[in-house]
């Protein structure tokens, strides 16, 4: 089994508006059998943090186009995207590049 993880989830560029305007969330993911990866994290975020209009953040099992994801300041594309296995104290930054309504 895998232990609980403590993460910082950061939102910028308007993404924070989907999280009640909060730009930084310190979250603890519960321990589970499988390792936590970004795919599981997005499901958790949808269930626990996204108050409204989750479709503006998540599409299918990933983030919607136009949202950049940085893991510890590195582009998630370099780290395996959805398959990146989260480590304790990771910092995940979501930046919305979509503007206007």
Domains in the chain, CATH or no CATH each? 5-96 (3.10.20.30)
Contacts of 21 by beta carbon, 8 Å cutoff, 6+ apart: none
pLDDT at 99: 65
pLDDT value of position 100: 55
- Please report, in tens digits, the pLDDT of each residue of the chain (101 residues total): 889 999 999 999 999 999 999 999 999 999 999 999 999 999 999 999 997 789 999 999 999 999 999 999 999 999 999 999 999 999 999 999 976 55
């Amino acid at each position: 089994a895998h232990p609980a993880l403590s993460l910082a989830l950061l939102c910028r560029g308007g993404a924070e508006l989907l999280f009640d305007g909060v730009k930084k969330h310190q979250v603890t993911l519960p321990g589970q059998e499988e390792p936590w990866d970004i795919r599981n994290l997005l499901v958790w975020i949808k269930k626990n943090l996204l108050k409204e209009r989750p479709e503006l953040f998540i599409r299918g099992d990933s983030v919607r186009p136009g949202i950049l994801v940085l893991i510890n300041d590195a582009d998630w594309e370099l780290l395996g995207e959805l398959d990146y296995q989260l480590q304790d104290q990771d910092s995940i930054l979501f930046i919305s590049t979509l503007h206007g309504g």
